[in-house]
């Protein structure tokens, strides 16, 4: 057992060990009665806000956007509307994956921080709750600025939870409010009218009916209060409201009963829907604030709304790699140049070089030209002895790439850091990214060399096996070719640099006989490719649904084009007459993999979730392998059609036999809960069958998809929680628990982080059969860590004899505590608008003076609305003056000002020709009601010239709201 247990850590363990009781809006699953959960609230808010952002971007480009932002929105309808035109293959998978991650992170607050009142606005902790939201929101902005989208989403999901709980746990709704309490995300504004510690706020409920238990004077005077909550004690201050519900012990105490609106059956359940609706709008306000502080483009990246895949290379740059590097350049340039400006242009590029002993840094950009420059800089040099730091480089790419990315590794040498295999595997499983190796140093590729060409370095079969194992675990491929034929193999990279790629079949076999594999091509699938890899170049025959067949020896046949390079055979199916059940018979003497992919909008994603206690039972994300011998639950989303039905979900062992079927329950909006009685032993993949009626014919289309990542269950369980933030220069303690129901003994513990932060953790823990052991990882961020940097921590536990292992992966952001919440303000210095009837003949000018008060200084000013030109002037403390000039036809302008920590505000002005000049008021000033505290005094208009002969009135609107009403 560990001895260095601190009081602080044991408190955190206590939190980990308590069965979390859901006392908020229900996290994921509705208990019925039409109640909305945190999942519903978060998803609807993201969908609506994303729709608004896409609309704004489309309008700015003069395009139509014809999607109503209502609650019928789905990830797919949004994806289609945001990227209309162009490719017929649109995958909403990335978007849905991100939205799911955000609501799972939201739901996790009920597990990690179940007992922290401020995280739920319980116990009248308004000031503290406002600070929780403010710091999380500042961390999100810093992370987005830094490109740390994965941890930004985690922080954002958590911030949404706290914000949403306010509407359920306080009396805001009971006061009659039906709009968000905007001060909650405006930490620069005071929270007025809070109930003092001695102010009584509730009275007994009458006969179990709590409709009128808030004291009338509290409601009349609009005094803000929230319910007290405790699992352990009935004590609460005299006269205060309780949260209510069966877990809340304070609610039995005078005044009896509660006020929460968590679902329709709760104390104030009659107001549940109103609370949930306002919570949706409040969440949209928070999202709008983050959008303003970043940009429309970054906002869409944050929510995972991008149109295509990324290109991600991990490249060995030691001496013998010159040819490989040249080929990596050639193929990436070819992809970039071919797809530039199209819907299939990669949305992001990742490049990691590794050598010995160096690796990295990670280069990540959305600018194709920057990527080209970086890859041009690569040079083959050095390396010393043969093994290189391959897995270290791969780890960097895995933690930075979006989920489900394709990563390509180029090397001709063994990995010097093979001990990272388990960590790499953990990250492959948790990110579901695919890793494909381009190996030019193996004996099987060397055999294919032209005689006489020197074998500079050889990968032994055992060395290559590490790469093959990782490729197989991820659903990628290990392609073994000679350096001279590498250019023929990189077509695989071009194949994956496309949108909406789906896996139709994937299997690995160590054959005893010829085997037949079938795969179903539905009407939505196109551009189908079959890959067979195996050192013996397996013989195969492909059979179409119409009875045609083609043998591996026929390069151009009735069914497709066959290409053979190294250990890879690739069949590109001809593009006609293909729907129905295909099969492929493979006859091999050695281990092989077969994989069939195509392009289709229909795809699925899933996460293992874990039940936690509480009256209704709910789930939280499992960040590790699920448990052997126990039942398991998958939360699954199917995207790509508006009318989808799932008919079968099966876990299929890699060996092919012992398939386990799940029980599928639709929970609305294309989401499903799948219950598995008992997980299969060994590695397995997830297979889906379903029907869609959205396609051309009247009868439903059947489809099949499968996951590419191999998963496995474990008899070891590892759980960990990060429930505080890490500041630069500070140390964080991450408590974790290892449990087993089988093997006793000493478990090896490995804790690794992708930033190389100094950390300490026990090297082993001793477990009894059916026992548990606790440990802590302490992690210190160097004081020069930039705010917004993310960290991925992997904690692994390996059973004695390495017979089993499990891990937990947690990501979080390093963020400086923000104390500047002052928003920038603008003062219109002058407007010159001499506009004739024909507006295209003249321009108008606006000059404004900008200030961040005592804040960190204005970092950027951008035009959000209006198509004029902006120039700014900076002084030592940031931008201080703005000059805007636009055509008289573009009558309104909105400038977004953002300071150095992400406080954002809008500066608006407009010259407008009122429809009815006679009734127009000469001057109008409006300030958004929710932001009146910071409205700047109206500026001078003396320089404005009114074209009275045309009845053109000048209107100046100075608005500094957080939320500018969306048209």
Ligand X SMILES: *[C@@H]1O[C@H](CO)[C@@H](O)[C@H](O)[C@H]1NC(C)=O
Residues in touch with ligand X (CB under 6 A): 63-64, 178-179, 204, 209, 211-212, 254, 256, 277-278, 281
Minimum CB–partner distance for residue 924 and ligand X (Å) = 23
The two tokens of residue 493 are 């990279």
Min separation Cβ 806 and ligand X, Å? 44
How near is the Cβ of 80 to ligand X at its closest, in Å? 15
Helices (H), 401-452: 421-431, 443-447
Q: 842 near 835, Cβ under 8 Å? A: yes
- Nearest to ligand X of 256, 646 (CB atom): 256
* Nearer to ligand X (CB atom), residue 178 or residue 222: 178
For 279: left if phi > 0, alpha if psi spans -120 to 50, otherwise beta; the answer is alpha
For ligand X, the closer CB: 113 or 287: 287
If the CB atoms of residues 211 and 880 are measured against ligand X, the closer one turns out to be 211
Residues sharing a CB contact under 8 Å with residue 326, sequence separation 6 or more, in sequence order: none
Which CB atom, from 279 or from 584, has the smaller least distance to ligand X? 279
Residue 249 C-beta: closest distance to ligand X, Å? 14
* Alpha-carbon Rg for the chain in angstroms: 30
- Sign of CA pseudo-dihedral 89, 92, 97, 98: positive
- In terms of phi and psi (left: phi > 0; alpha: psi -120 to 50; beta: otherwise), the region of 220 is alpha
Q: Which residue is it, tokens 């994603």? A: 605
Q: How far is the CB of 650 from ligand X (least distance, A)?
A: 42
If we measure between CA atoms, which residue out of 778, 597, 507 comes closest to residue 91?
597
Residues 74, 303: Cα–Cα separation, whole Å: 14
With contact defined as beta carbons under 8 Å apart, do 473 and 425 qualify?
Answer: yes
* Shorter beta-carbon distance to ligand X: residue 204 or 518: 204
Cβ 254 to ligand X shortest distance, Å? 4
Residue 153, strand partner residues: none
Q: Are 382 and 356 in contact (CB under 8 A)?
A: yes
Compare residues 246 and 379 and give the one whose CB is closer to ligand X.
246
Which residue's CB is nearer to ligand X, number 287 or number 609? Answer: 287
Q: Are 833 and 846 in contact (CB under 8 A)?
A: no
Strand pairing report for 549-551 and 843-851? unpaired
Give the nearer residue to ligand X in terms of CB position, either 204 or 663. Answer: 204
Give the integer Cα–Cα distance in Å for 962 and 78: 25
How far is it, in rounded angstroms, from Cα 160 to Cα 139?
A: 13
| Sequence-separated (6 or more) residues with CB below 8 Å from residue 242 | 202, 227, 228, 229, 236, 248, 250, 251, 253, 255, 256, 257, 258, 259
Minimum distance from CB of 233 to ligand X (Å)?
17
Reading across the β-sheet that carries 603-612, which strands appear in turn?
618-621, 603-612, 632-639, 671-676, 660-668, 644-653, 684-692, 701-706
Q: Which is nearer to ligand X, 80 or 449 (CB)?
A: 80
Residue 803 CB, nearest approach to ligand X (Å): 55
DSSP state of 575: S
Q: How far is the CB of 966 from ligand X (least distance, A)?
A: 6
Minimal distance, residue 178 CB to ligand X, in Å: 5
Q: How far is the CB of 226 from ligand X (least distance, A)?
A: 19
With respect to ligand X, which residue has the nearer C-beta, 278 or 426?
278
Q: Which tokens hold the place of 52?
A: 């608004």
236 versus 339: smaller Cβ distance to ligand X: 236
Write the DSSP string, 210-232.
Answer: -TT-B-HHHHHTT-B-B-B--SS
> What is the Cα–Cα distance from 304 to 363, expressed in whole angstroms?
20
Report d(CA 184, CA 163) in Å as an integer.
Answer: 8
Using the minimum distance from each CB to ligand X, give the nearer residue, 452 or 965.
Answer: 965
Nearest distance, CB of residue 209 and ligand X, angstroms: 4
Toward ligand X, which CB reaches closer, 426 or 931? 931
Phi/psi at 70 (5° precision): -115, -170
CB of residue 633 to ligand X, shortest distance in Å: 33
Q: Report d(CA 367, CA 340) in Å as an integer.
A: 11
Q: Could you give the 3-state DSSP secondary structure of residue 126?
A: helix
Tell me the closest approach of the beta carbon of residue 102 to ligand X, in angstroms: 20
Structure tokens at 40: 């519903």
For residues 735 and 7, give the distance between their C-alpha atoms in angstroms, rounded to a whole number: 12
């Amino acid at each position: 057992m560990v001895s260095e247990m601190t009081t602080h850590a044991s408190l955190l363990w206590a939190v980990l060990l308590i069965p979390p009781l859901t006392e908020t809006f229900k996290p994921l699953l509705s208990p019925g009665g039409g109640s909305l959960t945190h999942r519903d609230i978060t998803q609807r808010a993201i969908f609506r806000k994303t729709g608004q952002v896409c609309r704004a971007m489309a309008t700015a480009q003069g395009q139509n956007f014809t999607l109503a932002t209502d609650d019928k929105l789905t990830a797919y309808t949004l994806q289609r509307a945001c990227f209309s035109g162009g490719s017929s293959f649109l995958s909403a998978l990335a978007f849905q994956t991100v939205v799911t991650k955000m609501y799972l992170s939201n739901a996790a607050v009920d597990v990690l921080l179940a007992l922290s009142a401020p995280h739920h606005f319980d116990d009248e902790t308004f000031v503290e709750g406002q600070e929780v939201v403010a710091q999380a929101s500042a961390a999100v902005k810093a992370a987005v600025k830094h490109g740390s989208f994965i941890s930004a989403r985690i922080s954002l999901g958590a911030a949404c939870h706290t914000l949403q709980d306010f509407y359920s746990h306080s009396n805001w709704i009971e006061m009659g409010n039906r709009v968000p309490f905007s001060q909650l995300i405006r930490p620069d504004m005071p929270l007025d009218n809070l109930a003092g510690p001695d102010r009584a706020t509730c009275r007994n409920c009458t006969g179990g009916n709590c409709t009128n238990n808030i004291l009338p004077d509290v409601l009349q005077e609009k005094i803000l209060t929230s319910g007290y909550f405790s699992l352990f004690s009935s004590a609460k201050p005299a006269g205060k409201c309780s949260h209510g519900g069966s877990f809340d012990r304070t609610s039995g105490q005078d005044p009896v009963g509660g006020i929460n609106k968590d679902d329709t059956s709760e104390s104030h359940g009659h107001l549940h829907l109103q609370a949930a609706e306002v919570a949706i709008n409040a969440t949209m306000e928070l999202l709008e604030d983050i959008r303003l502080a970043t940009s429309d483009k970054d906002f869409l990246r944050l929510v995972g709304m991008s149109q295509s895949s990324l290109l991600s290379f991990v490249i060995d740059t030691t001496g013998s790699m010159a040819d490989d590097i040249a080929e990596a350049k050639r193929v990436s340039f070819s992809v970039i140049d071919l797809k530039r400006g199209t819907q299939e242009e990669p949305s992001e590029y990742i490049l990691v070089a590794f050598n010995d002993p160096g690796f990295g840094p990670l280069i990540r950009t959305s600018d194709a030209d920057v990527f080209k420059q970086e890859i041009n800089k690569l040079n083959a040099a050095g390396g010393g002895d043969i093994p290189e730091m391959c897995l270290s480089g791969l780890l960097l790419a895995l933690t930075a790439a979006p989920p489900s990315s394709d990563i390509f590794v180029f090397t001709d040498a063994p990995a010097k850091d093979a001990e990272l295999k388990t960590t790499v595997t953990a990250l492959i499983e948790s990110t579901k990214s695919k890793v494909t190796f381009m190996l030019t140093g193996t004996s099987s590729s060397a055999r294919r060399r032209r005689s006489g060409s020197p074998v500079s370095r050889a990968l032994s079969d055992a060395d290559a096996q590490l790469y093959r194992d990782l490729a197989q675990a991820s659903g990628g491929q290990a392609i073994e070719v000679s350096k001279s034929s590498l250019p023929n193999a990189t077509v695989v990279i071009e194949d994956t640099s496309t949108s909406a790629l789906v896996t139709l079949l994937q299997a690995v076999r160590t054959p005893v006989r010829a085997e037949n594999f079938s795969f179903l091509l539905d009407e939505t699938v196109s551009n189908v490719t079959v890959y067979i890899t195996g050192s013996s170049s397996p013989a195969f025959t492909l059979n179409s649904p119409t009875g045609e067949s083609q043998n591996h020896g026929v390069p151009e046949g009735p069914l497709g084009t066959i290409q053979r390079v190294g250990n890879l055979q690739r069949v590109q199916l001809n593009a006609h007459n293909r729907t129905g059940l295909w099969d492929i018979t493979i006859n091999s003497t050695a281990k092989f993999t077969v994989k069939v992919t195509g392009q289709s909008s229909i795809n699925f994603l899933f996460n293992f979730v874990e039940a936690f206690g509480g009256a209704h039972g709910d789930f939280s994300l499992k960040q590790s392998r699920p448990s052997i011998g126990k039942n398991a639950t998958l939360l699954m989303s199917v995207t790509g059609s508006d009318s989808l039905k799932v008919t079968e979900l099966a876990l299929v062992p890699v060996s092919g036999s012992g398939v386990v079927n799940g029980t599928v329950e639709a929970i609305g909006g294309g989401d499903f809960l799948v219950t598995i009685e008992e997980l299969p032993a060994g590695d397995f993949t997830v297979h889906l069958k379903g029907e869609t009626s959205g396609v051309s014919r009247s009868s439903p289309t059947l489809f099949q998809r499968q996951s590419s990542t191999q998963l496995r269950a474990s008899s070891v369980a590892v759980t960990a929680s990060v429930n505080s933030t890490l500041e630069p220069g500070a140390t964080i303690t991450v408590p974790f628990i290892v449990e087993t129901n089988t093997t006793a003994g000493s478990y090896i513990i490995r804790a690794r982080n992708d930033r190389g932060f100094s950390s300490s953790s026990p090297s082993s823990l001793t477990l009894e059969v059916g026992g548990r052991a606790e440990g802590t990882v302490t992690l210190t961020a160097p004081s020069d860590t930039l705010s917004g940097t993310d960290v991925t921590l992997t904690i692994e536990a390996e059973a004695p004899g390495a017979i089993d292992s499990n891990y937990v992966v947690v990501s979080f952001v390093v963020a400086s505590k923000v104390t500047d919440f002052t928003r920038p303000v603008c003062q219109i210095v002058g407007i010159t608008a001499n506009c004739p009837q024909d507006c295209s003949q003249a321009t108008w000018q606006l000059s404004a003076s900008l200030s961040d008060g005592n804040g960190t200084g204005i970092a950027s000013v951008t035009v959000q609305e209006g198509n004029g030109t902006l120039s700014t002037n900076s002084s030592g403390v940031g931008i201080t003056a703005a000059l805007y000039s636009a055509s008289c036809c573009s009558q309104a302008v909105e400038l977004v000002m953002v300071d150095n920590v992400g406080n954002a505000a809008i500066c608006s002005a407009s010259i407008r020709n009122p429809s009815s000049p006679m009734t127009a008021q000469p001057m109008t000033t409006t300030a958004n009601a929710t932001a009146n505290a910071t409205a700047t005094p109206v500026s001078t208009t003396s320089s404005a010239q009114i074209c009275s002969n045309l009845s053109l009135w000048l209107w100046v609107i100075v608005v500094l709201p957080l939320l500018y009403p969306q048209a």
